[in-house]
Chain A
Amino acid sequence: MPLSVGNQRTQITLLLTALVAVSLVSLLIGAGSVGPLRALAVLGGSQDSDASFVVWQLRAPRTLIGIIVGMALGVAGALLQAVSRNPLAEPGLLGVSAGAAFAVALTLVMGASAATMRISVAQLGALLGCICVLSVTRVRGLGSDPVRLVLAGAAFSGLLGSLTSLMLLFDQRAADEIRFWVIGSLAGRRLDDVVAMLPSMLVAAVAVVFIARPLAALALGERAASGLGHHPGLIRWLVVACVALLVGAATAIAGPIAFVGLVVPFAARALAGPDIRRTLWFCLPIGPLMVLMADIIARVAVAPSELPIGVLTALCGAPVLVAVVRARRLPTL
C-alpha cells in the first residue's frame, strides 16, 4: 500500500539521511591503509597528506560518481518501465550495455587504448544500442507484450556481443583490455569524465521535469492522455531519448552496471505507489544508495585489490529480481 503523503515525506527524509550516511562511509572505508579514523581526522581538518590525498582525490570522486550513476540508472529505469508499462524493462537489457561494449571494442581494435578511451565513444554506442532495440520493438507496441521487449533486447545484445567477440578474435590486445571494461567499475574515474557527462545529464534532467506530468497522464491510458492535451507518441520518444542519455552517460563513466535500473524503481514503487512522479523522487536517493553500498563492498571484499562493481550489482540484483517475481503478481503499470 502506498503511504500517505506525510509519511512519504518522512520516508524521503530517512532515505536522504541514509544516503548521507552511506556517502560518509564511502569516504571513510577503502581498500588501502587509510582507515576510518585517519579518514575522519582528515574530514576534521587534519594535515595528514597521505590520508587527505586518499580521501579527497580517490574516495571523494568515486563517491560522487557513484551518486550520479546511481541517480541516472535509477531514474532511467523508472522512466523506461513507466513508458513501456513493463516492470521488467531494464536499461541493461535493452542493448545499452552491449552497444557501449561494442563501441568500446571497435575503438580498441582501431587502435585506441582503454585507458585513454574517449568516454563519448561508449556513450554514443549506448545510445545507438538503445535506439536500435527500441525502434525494432517499436515503442508503441511495448505495452502489449512485455516479454517481446526483453527478448528483443536479449537477442540484440547477443548479436552485438558476437560482433564484439569476432573483433576480439583478431585482436588480442583489445580482448585483454575489454575483459576488464565489460564488468563496470567506479575506480580510477576522474572528475573530468563527470564534467564531460554533465551536459547530457542536465539536458535529460530538465526533460524529465517536463515529461513527468504527461507521463503520469499516459499511465491512465492513451485516450485519457490525449484528452488531457498530451501527445502520447511524442512523450514516448522524449522518454526514450532521456533514458538513452542517462544510461549512456552512466555506462560511459562506470561501464555496464547491471540491475540497478531494474531493482531501484521497483523499490521506489513499493514506497511511492503507482504515481510515476513520486516514484522518480524516490529513485533519486535509492539509486545512489544501492550503487554506493555495492561499491563499498567491492572495495573491502578482496582488499588490497578491488572487485568490479558490476559483478556485485548482478549478484545482489538478480536475487532481488527473482524474489520480486516470486513474491507476488507483477504489478501492472
Chain B
Amino acid sequence: MRAVTLRNGIIGLLLSGCLVSAAQARTLDTAYGEVDVTGTPERVVTLYEGALDASLAAGVTPLGAVTTRGGDNVAEYVEAHLGDERPAIMGVVREINIEAVLEQRPDLILAPARLTEEQYQLLSRIAPTVVPPTQPIAPDNWKAEARLYGNALNRQDALEDAISAVDQRAAELASALDAAGVGGTAFVVRWMPGGPMVMSKNLFTAGLVAQVGLTVEDAGLVGERGVHSDILSLENLSQVDGDWLFLATLNEDGQEALASAKQSSAFTRLDVVQREQVVPVNGQLWTSANGPLAALAILDDIEAALLP
C-alpha cells in the first residue's frame, strides 16, 4: 500500500513538474534568492505559524505544520479554521523534522524567515521552499509575508481578501470605539517576576491595537531591532502607565498573569491598574501568532475588552 502511494506521488510530482507550462511559473523573491513555483500547489507543508495562518486564510489546509509555542499541537485559534483534515506535526519550531516533511511529499514548503541555510539546502531539494526575507520589524510585516505565501500558493486573491477583511474589521472597530469614546495610549507588556517587558510598538499585535485608534507606545525602551525591552525595573514602572495596558504571558489564561502582577505593590499603584483598564490577553495569540486569521482573533479580543 505504502509503496504504491509513494510511487504514485512521485510520478505525480514528476508529471506536474514537466507538464505545467512555464507561463504559469511564478518567481518569488525569498531570503535565499529567487524561487520558481509552478501551478497551484496542493501538497503544502508550513513550518511557521504565520505560514499556517496565511495558508488557512487562503483556503488551503496544509498537510503538515509545526506546533505552536507552549503546546504539542497547532495554536488554539487555528482549531476553528480546521476542517476534518488536520495537518500532521512536523516537529517543533526548534527542531524541524525534515524526514517528516519529506514523508508528506509536498510540492510547496512555506518556511519561517529565520530558517538556517543548512535546513534550507535540504528542504529546497524536497520542494520549492519559500523563506520570507528578514525585514526590519514593522507592524505591517505580516501583510508582505502573507502576500508572499499567497503568491506561492497561487491564491493571491484569497489572501488580498483576507487582508482587506482584517483592515475592514479594524476600521469598523475603530469607529465603534470612537463612538464609545474609547481611546488614548496603550502599552503591550509581558509580565515577568522581576518586572514587565515592554513589547515593541512595531510588532504585529501593536499594529492592530494602533489600527483601532489607540496610540501604542513603548516609552522608547525597545531598540530599533528589538522585539521587547529588557525587564523594566519596578522603579520605572510608571513609564508604562498609559490609558490601557495589555498584559500577556504565554499562558493561555491572561488572568493568571494579572493576578501575579497584582501581587506587586509597584504594579497596583499604577493609575491604569486603579482605573481597571488592564486587559489580560492570551500570550499564545498575542505574542506568538501572526497572519490574517490571528489578526481577526486579536481584533475580537480587543472588541471584547474595550467596547463597553
Find out whether A and B make contact in their complex, taking CB atoms under 8 A apart as touching: yes
Contact B264 A187 (CB under 8 A): no
Contact A180 B95 (CB under 8 A): no
In the complex, the chain A residue whose C-beta lies closest to that of B72 is A170
Query: What are 27 inter-chain pairs, A to B, with CB distance below 8 A?
Result: A33-B235, A53-B265, A58-B234, A58-B235, A58-B266, A114-B192, A115-B193, A115-B260, A115-B261, A170-B72, A172-B92, A173-B69, A173-B249, A176-B250, A177-B192, A180-B192, A180-B193, A180-B231, A187-B194, A187-B231, A187-B233, A188-B234, A190-B263, A299-B233, A304-B232, A304-B239, A305-B231
Is B251 part of the binding interface, using a Cβ–Cβ cutoff of 8 Å?
Answer: yes
Is A113 part of the binding interface, using a Cβ–Cβ cutoff of 8 Å?
Answer: yes
Is B236 part of the binding interface, using a Cβ–Cβ cutoff of 8 Å?
Answer: yes
**0/1 string, B264-296, CB within 8 A of A gives 1:** 111001000000000000011000100000000
Give Cα distance in the complex from A304 to B196, angstroms.
12
Give Cα distance in the complex from A305 to B251, angstroms.
24
- Give the bracket for the number of chain B residues in contact with chain A: 35 or more
Which A294-331 residues have C-beta < 8 A from chain B?
A: 299, 302-306, 308
- Give the bracket for the number of chain A residues in contact with chain B: 35 or more
Contact A114 B193 (CB under 8 A): yes
* Extra 20 A-B pairs, beta carbons < 8 Å, given A113-B257, A305-B221, A305-B232: A32-B233, A34-B235, A54-B235, A57-B266, A58-B234, A114-B192, A116-B256, A117-B193, A169-B95, A170-B92, A172-B71, A172-B92, A173-B69, A173-B250, A176-B69, A180-B231, A181-B193, A187-B194, A187-B234, A304-B236
Give Cα distance in the complex from A176 to B72, angstroms.
16
Is B112 part of the binding interface, using a Cβ–Cβ cutoff of 8 Å?
Answer: no
Which B204-253 residues have C-beta < 8 A from chain A?
A: 221, 229-236, 239, 249-251
B196 to A: closest C-beta gap in Å: 10
Contact B230 A172 (CB under 8 A): no
Contact B231 A306 (CB under 8 A): yes
Is A185 part of the binding interface, using a Cβ–Cβ cutoff of 8 Å?
Answer: yes
Contact B70 A173 (CB under 8 A): yes
B residues in contact (CB < 8 Å) with A: 68-72, 92-95, 191-195, 221, 229-236, 239, 249-251, 256-257, 259-261, 263-266, 269, 283-284, 288
> Which 4 A-B residue pairings sit nearest by Cβ, starting from the closest?
A32-B235, A115-B260, A172-B69, A173-B250
> Which of A113, A173, A303, A305 has a CB less than 8 Å from the CB of B229?
A305
Contact A188 B94 (CB under 8 A): no
Chain B residues whose CB sits within 8 angstroms of the CB of A188 once the complex forms: 193-195, 234, 264
